[in-house]
Amino acid sequence: MAMNLAPARAAGLAALDDFVAAAGRRYTDTRNYDHGPGDRTNVSMLSRFLRYRLVTEAEVVAAVRREHSAAAAEKFLQEVLWRTYWKGWLEMRPSVWTRYRADLAGLKMQTGGWRAAYDRALAGNTGIDCFDAWIAELATHGYLHNHARMWFASIWIFTLRLPWQLGADLFYRQLFDGDPASNTLSWRWVAGLQTAGKTYLATRDNIARYTGGRFAPAGLATTATALTEAPTPPQALSPMMPATGRVGLLLGEDDCHAESLALGGARVTAVASATVADGRSAAVETFVANALTDARDRAAAHFAVAADALPALTTGAVRDWARRCDLTTVVVPYAPIGPTRTALDLVAAAIVTDGIALVPVRRAWDSAAWPAARRGYFAFREGAGTLIG
Ligand SMILES: Cc1cc2nc3c(=O)[nH]c(=O)nc-3n(C[C@H](O)[C@H](O)[C@H](O)COP(=O)(O)OP(=O)(O)OC[C@H]3O[C@@H](n4cnc5c(N)ncnc54)[C@H](O)[C@@H]3O)c2cc1C
């Protein structure tokens, strides 16, 4: 039976329910195999739900722990925690994101020596069979297996010698789970920037083995020299302010489960949602818009208030909504570093002059885990491991 991957919480919960029995031994033993788009039963396919928090990490961990011991499901639980790690790492180094976006904008204006190879790669016309197949799979399914993402990024950087930022951008625009932290930092990891000096080299044998012989590409790079940059030290996380009294709840794409936010003494009197169009494929932008509609409808029912869909996440749209609903406080689920956060920071700075406060609410999960993302993943797991434990 085909899995229902619709952009809605109900589909996410059903996918979790379908997968949970396989999260133990089966996942540990088989997760690295990419059987192709026709068979994804060895992985959870939960990323598009987790990315937008249609289903939260806490819910996935709780469901898995009801059926498996921490030891039996260790591999799967650790993968879930990688998402949290990447988010926390980027949160404490926002300049890595702004630098990436600036580099990307610069590259898109260039007509460098890489342009012809880039066009061939995008057209799926490199002659590297697996790579050309993954380009098509990305466009058709908006998903690639984790191992294929690693091979793809490695071939992009070390065989095709293309700028990693353009590859990260392609993934971000085409993956249904496209995520500023997991995607950008994984590309950096392959390039040797994330764990300084350590690169990931895709090999013919490894690809042949884990694709069950579907691919055995010739001519791949045999060395992978790490890119270099100056280290970016972590900065402190911003302190949270409590929200109280009558508030409006403004939903963005990063957290589509407002019902489980801890709102303390705040009383929600209005709900709205707003998207940030970000140049992603039409399929991804539609997926995100539908996820947010689902989130808004559930929140309106949960808080028993009216809901609005703002035309965009702009100062004018938020100001008009706040005035119409007579709000002086707008609560937003905390948006991690990425396009929604950038838009929200601009809105917050502008509407404060109208006497309207924008108050982010961070989940206990993130507040507990993110401070531990100061160094590498293994140190992080020491600090945040109790979340899955
Ligand atoms: C170059 C590259 C780019 C990537 N870009 C993204 C992205 O844009 N968005 C995204 O969500 N993931 C990204 N990943 C991570 C990972 O590939 C996907 O999360 C995973 O393949 C999604 O499939 P799944 O839900 O079936 O995963 P499963 O194997 O079933 O894992 C369960 C969950 O654990 C988390 N997870 C698993 N592996 C990772 C990982 N390596 N890093 C972070 N979280 C992980 C995801 O939330 C996933 O849903 C990227 C990895 C690489 C190497």
184 in ligand 1 pocket by Cβ < 6 Å? no
The predicted structure's pLDDT at residue 3: 84
The type of residue at 91 is E
- Phi and psi, residue 252, nearest 5°: -115, 180
Edge-first strand order for the sheet with 244-251 is: 307-309, 265-273, 244-251, 329-333, 357-361
User: Tens digits of per-residue pLDDT, 231-284?
Assistant: 999 999 999 998 899 999 999 999 999 999 999 989 999 999 999 989 999 999
CA-to-CA distance for 130 and 154, rounded, in angstroms? 12
The predicted structure's pLDDT at residue 111: 85
User: Tens digits of per-residue pLDDT, 36-58?
Assistant: 999 999 999 999 999 999 999 99
The type of residue at 9 is R
Of all protein residues, the one whose alpha carbon is nearest to atom 38 of ligand 1 is 79
User: Tens digits of per-residue pLDDT, 182-227?
Assistant: 999 999 999 999 999 999 999 999 999 999 999 999 999 999 999 9
CA-to-CA distance for 70 and 78, rounded, in angstroms? 10
Q: Is the pLDDT of residue 1 over 70?
A: no
57 in ligand 1 pocket by Cβ < 6 Å? no
Percentage of the chain modeled with pLDDT above 70 = 100
The predicted structure's pLDDT at residue 44: 98
Let me know: does 53 contact 256? Beta carbons within 8 Å.
yes
User: Tens digits of per-residue pLDDT, 327-378?
Assistant: 999 999 999 999 999 999 999 999 999 999 999 999 999 999 999 999 999 9
Confidence of residue 112 (pLDDT cuts 50, 70, 90): confident
Write the DSSP string, 36-93: -TT--TTS---HHHHHTTSS-HHHHHHHHHHHS-TTTTHHHHHHHHHHHHHHHHHHT-
Hey, what are 148's tokens?
């294929």
Q: Which DSSP symbol is given to 198?
A: -
- As to burial, measured by CB atoms within 10 angstroms (0-12 exposed, 13-18 middle, 19+ buried), residue 161 is exposed
- Per-residue pLDDT, averaged over 313-326, amounts to 97
Confidence of residue 2 (pLDDT cuts 50, 70, 90): confident
Let me know: does 245 contact 267? Beta carbons within 8 Å.
yes
CA-to-CA distance for 140 and 10, rounded, in angstroms? 23
146 in ligand 1 pocket by Cβ < 6 Å? yes
Distance (Å) from CA 242 to ligand 1 centroid = 32
Hey, what are 215's tokens?
């691919």
Range name among 74-78, 331-335, 381-385 with the lowest pLDDT average: 381-385
Hey, what are 4's tokens?
């229902």
154 in ligand 1 pocket by Cβ < 6 Å? no
User: Tens digits of per-residue pLDDT, 123-136?
Assistant: 999 999 999 999 99
- Atom index in ligand 1 nearest the CA of residue 144 equals 21
Rg (Cα) of the chain, in Å, rounded?
A: 21
The predicted structure's pLDDT at residue 250: 98
**Three-state DSSP class for residue 264:** coil
Let me know: does 49 contact 11? Beta carbons within 8 Å.
yes
User: Tens digits of per-residue pLDDT, 143-156?
Assistant: 999 999 999 999 99
User: Tens digits of per-residue pLDDT, 219-231?
Assistant: 999 999 999 999 9
177 in ligand 1 pocket by Cβ < 6 Å? yes
Of all protein residues, the one whose alpha carbon is nearest to atom 48 of ligand 1 is 47
The type of residue at 375 is R
150 in ligand 1 pocket by Cβ < 6 Å? yes
pLDDT, averaged across the chain: 97
Distance (Å) of CA 158 to CA 41, 190, 203: 31, 10, 11
Is pTM beyond 0.75 here? yes
Q: Is the pLDDT of residue 14 over 70?
A: yes
Write the DSSP string, 13-26: HHHHHHHGGGGTHH
The predicted structure's pLDDT at residue 277: 86
Let me know: does 155 contact 202? Beta carbons within 8 Å.
yes
User: Tens digits of per-residue pLDDT, 162-181?
Assistant: 999 999 999 999 999 999 99
Q: Tokens 């434990």 identify what position?
A: 389
Let me know: does 294 contact 256? Beta carbons within 8 Å.
yes
- Per-residue pLDDT, averaged over 311-327, amounts to 97
Domain annotation for the chain: domains and CATH numbers: 9-90+370-387 (1.25.40), 97-210 (1.10.579.10), 244-361 (3.40.50.620)
